[in-house]
Amino acid sequence: MKISALCFSAWLTLVSMAMLTAHAEEVARVKITTSEGEIVAELYPAKAPKTVANFLQYVKDKHYDGTVFHRVISNFMIQGGGFDAKYSERKTRPPVVHEGRESLAAGLKNQVGTLAMARTNDPQSATAQFFINVSDNAFLDPTLIPDGDPVKRFEFQGRVYENLPRANLLNAPQLFGYTVFGKVVSGMDVVQKIKSAPTGAGGPFPSDVPKTPILINSITLLKTP
């Protein structure tokens, strides 16, 4: 019996190690080298697969090398990856499918240190630009839609709606939020330094542009998923 117990204990240990290894394989890691220092971020392909694949393809294509953080708001976020130091916009591939609700359901929220895809008012417009949250920005999180069709009761921004067609809610632009796909694991001091940069007008932008350009020298892949 003692031998069986020992064997069972060893088996449990092996299973636990396998589970940990499987989990580790689901995480990619990138290094964002900036003019202010280095930031290392984990990316979560199991939670936002299309978004992470899209970002990593831009990394492999060296799209981000020589771009800038062109939008910096100290109590909100820092955004970059779309323009070079002369504010020329980089060419991008077609937009990536919005995965905000999937990543939220998997536990990713717009909290301090998380990476999310930037976009226009069109939820399906995210390409290469990304931002790092420097505050807990819950208002950027997607809105999960209750079960049912029609949805019997739905509350949004203090108002209650009843018996709404499910498709209307699923496709409402204001409910999509922003897709979180990663998190800073080291270099938050660099993020804090960037968010504190003096800003003003720059290039085509009337505000929020660092007065001294903050370069993304490169983004490199440290660990594949």
**Along the 225 residues of the chain, how does pLDDT read in single tens digits?**
444 555 556 565 655 555 554 444 589 999 999 999 999 999 999 999 999 999 999 999 999 999 999 999 999 999 999 999 999 999 999 999 999 999 999 999 999 999 999 999 999 999 999 999 999 999 999 999 999 999 999 998 889 999 999 999 999 999 999 999 999 999 999 999 999 999 999 999 999 999 999 999 999 999 888
In a domain, 111, yes or no: yes
In a domain, 15, yes or no: no
In a domain, 17, yes or no: no
Query: pTM of the prediction?
Result: 0.87
Q: Please give the Cα distance from 59 to 104 (Å, whole number).
A: 24
In a domain, 195, yes or no: yes
Instruction: Judge contact between 43 and 182, C-beta under 8 A.
Output: yes
The amino acid sitting at 59 is: V
- Type and span of the H or E element at 72: strand 67-73
Instruction: Judge contact between 205 and 90, C-beta under 8 A.
Output: no
Q: Report the CATH number that the domain containing residue 85 is assigned in CATH.
A: 2.40.100.10
- Determine how many CB atoms are found less than 10 A away from the CB of residue 64: 24
Q: Cα torsion at 64, 66, 67, 70 (round to 10°)?
A: 150
Query: Domain of 203?
Result: 27-142+177-223
